[in-house]
Structure 1
């Protein structure tokens, strides 16, 4: 009887995982229907193999068939619910590289788990408590001796380790298999074609086969630069203006999107006086590192294939061509400031690999300026955008050499809950978000005042060229599920006016006109055009 229950339990778990996978599959673009069986068969086959390995492993570990089945069911529910939550907020299914963000999620739980409804957590804790209680009540099935069960568990784990080792190395059989399943490296497209779990398997296989080649393809190689090349398009030393590039957390034209009055008069003025437009993104609600990487390198994330889902994984491993390197060739000191833990998204490793001379994280910022050790410089959990941009203006004003300063703001990061900052409980979610926009606008005002004050006093100084853009749409409840009517675009603004810059919609990799050349034959992409910042 126990053997029959075990077999039925395994079959049921296979079916439930396949159903969850099928339910999570996005509609194929332009078809309005699910894709045919042959395409998503790879996903359901993966579901079957996964369940057929995981359930026996749980069984030999716990020696309790019912509890093992319940735990397997709970794991499927958690996977399904996690995917539903991500799809609801970000309009994107889970991808294999999300596994690598697990450490960030545990280290910075508010930034990840804060989006889940509060009622979820008692439910999860209760489910595990109920499971533990059930395990204590269910007698051991005595499916074999302890030694035999340890041996079976070891065999399952060794089989999995062997599979991983097999696909991690270039292998003609794996390559031949992948040739039958062409990939776009667009999350939703691949998930719609092969189901989320099927796409995850194919991405893992591709990554195992190509990851070393990708690292070498995009690795920056130091080379000799002729005086003519280094000075091409460069102004005289005294004429170089400071360059301030601001990546504003979750900045979007929320007033236009929702038909509300604008709360950013200074930003609106800069857009009118300078140049501006939509920043066309393929992601929404998150994935700051994709926008940041594209702007700094001029590369589309999808050009990185499987590294494109989280491009900073690649940038943390190898030095890469970037805007910072181009600015250094033109005589600029390159500095990046992000008032958060420098380990987040591995920026402490990424920024040196992108050629920045200095990376100022929150701890370094506190040492540079005592105001950031005081509560007045914060709005809720994070450094206020107003305080940060005021510091940026002062930093550039004091700098004697020309500086390219890249500032990554943090204040407006979600979730926009009732405890976001004092008084937030009296506001709606959108109004809380707009509070942060007001602080950003006040910070921009400090930059404008510094620049206009310098001009009015005719004091010596380099002046500031400003470019600001939003990294992604905010994951506000009013924007969720409206991707058909509200695009993923944010905005960009350049100020003051330059004849060479016109208002238009731009992709993030085109924002600073770096334009790395990535030929179709995958030659090394180290050659670039000069910056048009």
Structure 2
């Protein structure tokens, strides 16, 4: 018992010390503080469980410390790149990292992962070999204490996760004052505790968030049906054919010319031309930085500001969108539109094969529908996506079409050798600002510009009216380039263009409002509220 107590005490002390290293650190923390007992509880449960299974307290202490250290290292790495601490929904991405390692492993480094795994395996194996169990268990009766303990723990977990104690447990968690502001909560509650709290609170009906308008609250976070805030003018198209509408969420797109004068001025010449003719264009505030495409995607389609989603804001596709949620796709389908989502990647990524029907799409075309379409770098090219959009538009139909395309070509990481099989672009430096990754990114951006030209030309050539919207889901993860250029603006760029031109309006807006601006362009803008009001985000 003395050995167990000593190992547990040392584990708790080291865990509390390691918690002090977790980012962000908004204020000085002492090892022993008001939340120390709460912070230690996950370590106590984990240590006790391993001890009851192995009867090796030193092994249990080493394993517990390795697991908690791994969580803190992963948290700090994420915070350094994306400016956000680790959240519970990130663990859901472990499956994606296994299925699609190229999207994740590159950011950490394969050899670093291998080294960490080998070191952890060696440490645990050494502890098992060098430490004899506290008692030998030779008969089945010797395992009864372990079986009783595990049954009790698993029963309690079931009771609070899915059983009768869930409501009581959630109420208890709320008494500690979590805010769904992950930066503040990690600093106040500790990292691991915050992960546990958010896991249980996600999907629960949230209390109104301070500073949000009534329209954005209430049903937003926990209910399956969300009130339809669609412009009333859209309903007048029941008696006539509406315009074809194409919205493109462009991977990591922003006007990189704002970064530095080293970026060619004609890099986005087709985008510039359409922006001069556009109904609306400008800077776009997005709920993501360097990753988390699904946050911007959902904001655009649903019209809900990220803050209205409560604990679902980190990954709305994880729980919230597993049931029908109102989106502009639902609205347009109710007006007789075909609704098609195009994404040149695997349908299971972010569970889009389950989510997109719930968001109002009749058809979801994933990478399987692209066949032998050309790639540019590791992923299907933007021009292949443009051709797929044009093919869908060209399909005979007496119904107007809404296409929502999510590109992949410019997905990071922009590593040396990525475009070695492509002809060089003489107008783009290989290492602008001393950053080879920026040079690669700009070459992909040139292809996005070609997508704008191809799709808008197709819409302009059709007999029916057409509306085109393009926006960036988040900034690219290019920390060295941004640091060198002293660039700190987190916004991306957008345009909303309509066939035949319009009086251009420069408006800075947000992703949750952009869908409304697109509907303004499609359905009699003069009959709707002023665009200046629409451009103000609920956030």
Q: How does 1:285-434 map to 2 (within 5 A)?
A: 285-363=290-368, 365-366=369-370, 372-374=371-373, 377-400=374-397, 401-423=399-421, 428-434=436-442
**1:269: Cα distance to partner?**
2.5
Q: Which moved more, 1:243-252 or 1:62-71?
A: 62-71
Aligned twin of 2:22? 24
- RMSD of aligned residue pairs (Cα, Å): 3.7
**Distance (whole Å) between structure 1 residues aligned to residue 124 and residue 167 of structure 2:** 46
In the superposition, relative to structure 1, how do residues 397 and 58 fare at CA in structure 2: closer, same or farther (>3 Å)? same
Query: Which of 453, 456, 467 in structure 2 is aligned with 1:445?
Result: 453
**Cα deviations by residue, 1:175-219 (Å, 9 ceiling, x for unpaired):** 6534533343232233233332333333234337549x9799532
Are 1:203 and 2:198 matched, yes or no? yes
SS in structure 1 at match of 2:120: helix
Query: Which of 511, 515, 520 in structure 1 is aligned with 2:514?
Result: 511
Are 1:190 and 2:180 matched, yes or no? no
**1:132: Cα distance to partner?**
5.4
SS in structure 1 at match of 2:332: helix
Are 1:62 and 2:54 matched, yes or no? yes
**Distance (whole Å) between structure 1 residues aligned to residue 11 and residue 486 of structure 2:** 35
**Distance (whole Å) between structure 2 residues aligned to residue 337 and residue 443 of structure 1:** 14
Aligned twin of 1:267? 271
**1:490: Cα distance to partner?**
1.1
In the superposition, relative to structure 1, how do residues 157 and 73 fare at CA in structure 2: closer, same or farther (>3 Å)? farther
Q: Which moved more, 1:325-334 or 1:467-476?
A: 325-334
**1:106: Cα distance to partner?**
1.7
Check whether the contact 1:282–1:488 (CA below 8 A) recurs between aligned residues.
no
Q: Which moved more, 1:465-474 or 1:433-442?
A: 433-442
**Distance (whole Å) between structure 2 residues aligned to residue 221 and residue 361 of structure 1:** 27
Q: Which moved more, 1:126-135 or 1:331-340?
A: 126-135
Check whether the contact 2:347–2:353 (CA below 8 A) recurs between aligned residues.
yes
**1:290: Cα distance to partner?**
0.6
In the superposition, relative to structure 1, how do residues 82 and 222 fare at CA in structure 2: closer, same or farther (>3 Å)? closer
TM-score (norm 1): 0.82
**1:160: Cα distance to partner?**
5.0
**Distance (whole Å) between structure 2 residues aligned to residue 253 and residue 180 of structure 1:** 45
In the superposition, relative to structure 1, how do residues 22 and 487 fare at CA in structure 2: closer, same or farther (>3 Å)? farther
Query: Which of 148, 170, 177 in structure 1 is aligned with 2:172?
Result: 177
In the superposition, relative to structure 1, how do residues 266 and 155 fare at CA in structure 2: closer, same or farther (>3 Å)? same
**Distance (whole Å) between structure 2 residues aligned to residue 69 and residue 241 of structure 1:** 64
**1:488: Cα distance to partner?**
2.1
Aligned twin of 1:125? 117
**Distance (whole Å) between structure 1 residues aligned to residue 232 and residue 514 of structure 2:** 22
Are 1:494 and 2:496 matched, yes or no? yes
What stretches of structure 1 of length at least 5 have no aligned partner? Answer: 367-371, 455-459, 517-527
TM-score (norm 2): 0.81
Aligned twin of 1:369? none
**Distance (whole Å) between structure 1 residues aligned to residue 313 and residue 353 of structure 2:** 19
**1:311: Cα distance to partner?**
0.6
**Distance (whole Å) between structure 1 residues aligned to residue 509 and residue 227 of structure 2:** 30
**Distance (whole Å) between structure 2 residues aligned to residue 483 and residue 206 of structure 1:** 40
**Distance (whole Å) between structure 1 residues aligned to residue 91 and residue 124 of structure 2:** 26
SS in structure 1 at match of 2:109: coil
**Cα deviations by residue, 1:22-50 (Å, 9 ceiling, x for unpaired):** 3224244xxxx347999x743x3333112
**Distance (whole Å) between structure 1 residues aligned to residue 272 and residue 221 of structure 2:** 43
Check whether the contact 1:46–1:197 (CA below 8 A) recurs between aligned residues.
no
In the superposition, relative to structure 1, how do residues 118 and 229 fare at CA in structure 2: closer, same or farther (>3 Å)? closer
What stretches of structure 2 of length at least 5 have no aligned partner? Answer: 207-217, 425-429, 520-527
SS in structure 2 at match of 1:234: helix
